[in-house]
Amino acid sequence: MNCPFCSNDESKVVDSRPTEEGQAIRRRRECISCKKRFTTYEKIEELPLIVIKKGGDREAYNRNKVMNGIIRSCEKRPVSMQKIEEIVDEIEKTLHNSMEKEITTKFIGELVMEKLKSLDEVAYVRFASVYREFKDITTFMDELNKLIKDS
A 10 A CB-CB count for 124 gives 21
**DSSP H helical ranges for the chain:** 63-73, 81-97, 105-119, 121-131, 137-150
Q: What is the mean pLDDT of residues 28-47?
A: 90
The contacts of residue 25 (CB under 8 Å, 6+ apart) are: 16, 17, 18, 19, 41, 42, 43
Q: What is the mean pLDDT of residues 41-46?
A: 81
Locate the domains of the chain by residue range.
11-43, 50-150
Burial class (CB in 10 A: 0-12, 13-18, 19+), 66: buried
pLDDT tens digits for range 5-27: 999 999 999 999 998 777 789 99
pLDDT tens digits for range 53-64: 989 999 999 999
Q: What is the DSSP string of 90-113?
A: HHHHHHHHTT-SEEEHHHHHHHHH
Band (pLDDT 50/70/90 cuts) for residue 39 is very high
Rounded to 10 deg, the angle between the 81-97 and 105-119 helix axes is 140
Band (pLDDT 50/70/90 cuts) for residue 135 is low
0.75 cut: is pTM over it? no
Picking from 9-18, 43-52, 69-78, 106-115, which range would have the lowest pLDDT averaged per residue? 43-52
Q: How far apart are CA 141 and CA 62, in angstroms?
A: 31
The pLDDT value given to residue 83: 93
